[in-house]
Chain A
């Protein structure tokens, strides 16, 4: 029998696209594998650790996701292959809405089986008893990083915010890499835009003011200090934008030179060869979760789909189709091309330089901080 470790390595290379299908076949034969065994081998590699048997089912599962290219990528990487393998039909609806979910559960009229929910919702909804506890006898969690496993489901994606800049204005090596530099108008003159949301601008302001990244929440976020810092630097922000899509318009039009933006928007610009770059250094991310509203009629199918989505191969494919999102399965990063790993906000290398936004903190303090934020903007 062929060397298991070598076969595993070869399969990884095949999935990351490092070797072509033909080259894969050639090397597989050299390792002593028979042509007939290959399809089964690929399937079992892709399927581990949740075996196909556990996923088989009937009926449907209604998934509530965010729509657009994001849901298209989910359909191609998760939903369509799941339908083929399980026999369960996946119906997608949009878009996740906290108030709607609450109303569904309260009126016992649950239309969604699996919701791509923001982390801070999961905390509050869970506390209010609005979510089913995930069945981890169905969903394998041994390959997930601990931050992407909750009582109510596994992580869908991690997404976040970064600093970006115009490379025309700040060529390689001359760009800011910390928030202290980003807020330094003397050293980095230019027009600036921020996405108007206190989360995680308050964290960024504190980092800029000298609080080490790992001490931001200990004991708790110093909101007074953050607002003092922002007030002192408010005049240098030319645009507070309200729609995440605006980040691209602002950079394409050279309206601003420095920006705080969702990471996905900066990746779009870079892939479109715009003179824009960004860094994950001092970026911040938060985890979204696949959760099931209490009383969902197809909750078992929802968990089967979760199990399918937990597979490294499927997550790797999603990360290739929709670059930038952090995937929970740590093995998924072994199956991605280099570019996707660089872009994924929670890949092992990016995890070291980014901040995980505290979900419990924001679940508790969003209201109060938002009120102060509105008053701060005026």
Chain B
């Protein structure tokens, strides 16, 4: 990529995006703004719903829980996804396509289907518990589901491909010769990885982390099905507020707070991580 475009050429460059931007404006931005505006009460005190959110301890607890949940899932995805992405990026050419396909297959199965499958696998008489008991590793069935653990497992499984794919796309561009160069300069394999490879792979990791974290914040089905009522997240609360109490104002205020707090995390992250490098991967 050459030097930064300036002046009119920026606009020319954006021209191909116009259809998409117009679409998003009508079908995404407008409805979202409309819904968020419902959080402000035009007829009463403007911020009455936000005052309620602040006053009732339930809402703060749920917001904190949602952030903690998403953070834990992001860390799990990172720990599990990085080695996978590394393996695929440096596997022999003929294995790349099959491996990527294996990562992609879960994308083709609905989240609902996958969550129900986890219910069957993780339940007290599920495969995992049967195996553990057959091997003598457990005498009582372990509580793997209908608690936070079940939600971690289910969400990590669903979000893992996002982490793997964004890490992989950057890792693929890292030249192996850089590692050889490090080796000729006397670096051990570990040193070469830690000081050369890892820093170069960071943009992909950062992109994956942000994507997983943000999607995780809004997760609904998996906590609803695998949490057993013990893991109420903001999205669950929003749904209950609308369908059970028909309180659109309060639900919109909740959505507003969730969006705002996600942005508060995202904006600094994007600035620190350098937006340019995040999704482009062309940093050399």
Binds A, one of B40-48, B181-189, B240-248: B240-248
In the complex where A98-B246, A99-B246 touch, is A378 in contact with B126 (Cβ < 8 A)? Answer: no
> Which residues on A sit within 8 Å (CB–CB) of B244?
197, 366, 370, 373-374
Chain A hits for B225, CB < 8 A: 242-243, 246
Taking the closest CB of chain A, its distance from the CB of B148, in whole angstroms, is 13
**Per-residue 0/1 for A225-254: is the Cβ within 8 Å of any B Cβ (1 yes, 0 no)?**
000000000000111111100100100011
Distance between Cα atoms of A370 and B225 in the complex (Å): 20
Please, how many residues of chain B have a CB less than 8 angstroms from a CB on the other chain?
26
Interface residues of A in 334-378 (CB under 8 A from B): 366-367, 370-371, 373-375, 377-378
Is the Cβ of B245 less than 8 Å from the Cβ of A371?
Answer: yes
Which residues of chain B in 85-139 are interfacial with respect to chain A, using CB atoms and an 8 Å cutoff? 116, 119-120, 123-126
Q: Is the CB–CB distance between B240 and A367 below 8 Å?
A: no
- Confirm or deny: A177 has a beta carbon within 8 angstroms of a beta carbon on chain B: no
- In the assembled complex, the Cα of A99 lies from the Cα of B244 at a distance in Å of 12
User: How many CB-defined contacts (below 8 Å) exist between A and B?
Assistant: 66
- A51 is an interface residue with CB less than 8 A from chain B: no
8 A Cβ contacts from B225-254 to A: 225, 228-230, 232, 237, 240-241, 244-247
Known contacts A246-B225, A367-B245, A374-B58; A253/B126 CB under 8 A: yes
Are B246's CB and A239's CB within 8 A?
no
Q: Tell me the nearest residue of chain B to A237, going by C-beta.
A: B229
CA–CA, A241 and B62, complex, Å:
18
Complex interface: chain A residues within 8 A of B116 (CB)? 249
Interface status of B224 (Cβ within 8 A of chain A): yes
B61 on interface, CB distance cutoff 8 Å: yes
Q: Across the interface, do A253 and B232 meet the contact criterion of CB distance under 8 Å?
A: no
Q: Is A85 an interface residue (CB 8 A)?
A: no
Which single residue of chain B is at the shortest CB-CB distance from A98? B246
Q: Is the interface of B mostly helix, strand, loop or mixed?
A: loop
- Collect the chain B residues with CB atoms within 8 Å of residue A222's CB: none
A370 to B242 CA separation, bound complex (whole angstroms): 11
A196-B229, A374-B58 known; A367-B124 Cβ under 8 A: no
Once A366-B245, A367-B246, A370-B244 are accepted as A-B contacts, the answer to whether A239 and B228 lie under 8 Å apart by CB is: yes
Do most interface residues of chain A lie in helix, strand or loop, or is the interface mixed?
mixed
A143 beta carbon closer than 8 Å to chain B: no
B146 touches A255 (CB 8 A): yes
A239 touches B146 (CB 8 A): yes
**Which partner residue on chain B sits nearest A97 by CB separation?**
B243
Q: Once the chains bind, are B247 and A367 in contact (CB under 8 Å)?
A: yes
CB nearest neighbor in B for A245: B116
Residues of A within 8 A of B145 (CB): 255
Asked if residues A370 and B240 are in contact (CB atoms below 8 Å), the reply is yes
Residues of A within 8 A of B229 (CB): 196, 237, 239-242, 377
B176: CB under 8 A from chain A?
no
Residues A254-277 near B (CB distance < 8 A):
254-255
A378 and B224: CB pair below 8 A? no
**Complex Cα spacing A123 to B152, Å:** 42
Complex contacts, A370 vs chain B, CB 8 Å? 240, 244-245
Nearest CB on A from B155, distance (A): 16
Please, which residues of chain B bring their CB within 8 A of the CB of A367?
Answer: 245-247
B25 to chain A, nearest CB (A): 24
Contact A254-B245, Cβ < 8 Å, known A370-B240, A377-B232: no
CB distance from B77 to the nearest CB of A (A): 25
Contact A255 B123, beta carbon cutoff 8 Å: yes
Residue in contact with B224 in the complex, picked from A237, A243, A253, CB distance below 8 Å: A243
A278-312: CB near B (< 8 Å → 1, else 0) gives 00000000000000000000000000000000000
Asked if A374 contacts B237 (CB within 8 A), the reply is: yes
Q: B232 — which chain A residues lie within 8 A by C-beta?
A: 374, 377-378
A-B residue pairs in contact (CB < 8 Å), sample of 21: A237-B229, A238-B228, A239-B229, A240-B230, A241-B228, A246-B119, A249-B116, A249-B123, A253-B123, A253-B124, A253-B126, A254-B125, A255-B146, A366-B245, A367-B245, A367-B247, A374-B237, A374-B244, A375-B58, A378-B58, A378-B232
| Apart from A253-B123, A371-B245: 5 A-B pairs, beta carbons within 8 A | A237-B229, A238-B146, A239-B146, A239-B229, A378-B62
Closest 5 CB pairs of A and B: A240-B229, A253-B123, A239-B228, A370-B244, A367-B245
